Amino acid sequence: MVMVVHLPDGVTRIIAAEHGAPPVRRTGPPEFSEVADVFKRLTDIDISAARPLWVSAFTDAARQVTQYRRGRVLLSGDAAHIHLPAGGQGMNTSLQDSVNLGWKLAAVVRGTAPPALLDSYHEERHAVGRALLRNTRAQSLLILGGDDVAPLREVLGDLLSIEDVARVLAERASGLDIRYDVGGGHHPLLGARLPELTLAGGLDRATGPVPPPNCCAADGAAPRPRRQRRTAPPRPGWTHRIDVVTAAPTRPVTGPLAGTGAVLVRPDGHVAWAAPGSHHDLPTALTRWFGPARPAHAA
């Protein structure tokens, strides 16, 4: 496999992987001469006179820890999983690990959520890491395999011409297909990321309606001409940690949000509760993700 990418300022990125080459135990980056030799064998082009700016090596080793949390020890990113660096998936997954862990850890440290909330970090992200390794292993066979996988490449190439197949694979590679177990229900967005949504008053999904954690209440009917935005408690006892936005969408809502009256959005952008659609009530969802309600007499 050879990849050549032209970057700004006259820089060229070169990736070369020689099929069947034995693995090399390294204690540092390879010499540029090694890269030039591999490139020469694969392309018959001599790049040995080029000036290297950065040289590194990668393998297709795939490993994952058995536990993302053990007591007070929490692992994320490359400390939790390694794999072929295909398509930047490791970067996406590592960032998602950190976001998933970050808001939960902050809530536990502040005392607004019980330590058990941290258990959901392993439960949610270990499954994602396992799927990532399966994905990159498959890509390793396709990218780094020899002539014996050429028929598989051709079949996959034909399948990618089908729009639905291409979309599913793209969502899987980007991590946008992730759906967490947030409780039973028939709403199509439960556990998934909240789609792009623009509300009256300039609120939108990209910037976040309010600082997280938040409960975003959106009327799924036709847009209202008058701007609406107000903050009000969804339930007594959670007002110190939950913000509410009530606003109409700027255009008729279609897709999985159609007909949705309200959603509870976690700080990582995933829908934890929706109405109608969730099998449990809002206080149950609030308690699970944001801790028990504060007593009415508390300051």
Name the pTM for this structure.
Answer: 0.81
pLDDT of residue 296: 67
Residues of the chain with CATH 3.50.50.60: 63-174
The tens digit of pLDDT for each residue in 276-298 reads 999 999 889 999 998 888 776 66
pLDDT of residue 36 exceeding 60: yes
Return the percentage of the chain with pLDDT > 70, whole number: 87
Topology (CATH level 3) of domain 198-290: Glutaredoxin (3.40.30)
| Mean pLDDT of all residues in 261-270 | 89
| Mean pLDDT of all residues in 145-156 | 90
The tens digit of pLDDT for each residue in 89-109 reads 889 999 999 999 999 999 999
- Could you tell me where the DSSP H helices lie in the chain? 32-43, 89-110, 119-144, 150-159, 163-174, 282-290
| Mean pLDDT of all residues in 67-75 | 95
Distances (CA, A) of 171 to 6, 28, 129, 178, 275: 26, 34, 15, 9, 26
- Domain 63-174: which CATH number of 3.40.91.50, 3.20.20.60, 1.25.40.10, 3.50.50.60: 3.50.50.60
| 3-class secondary structure, 291 | coil
pLDDT of residue 234 exceeding 60: no
Residues of the chain with CATH 3.40.30.120: 198-290
For CA atoms 269, 228, 286, 281, give the dihedral sign: negative
pLDDT band for 236, please (50, 70, 90 cuts).
low
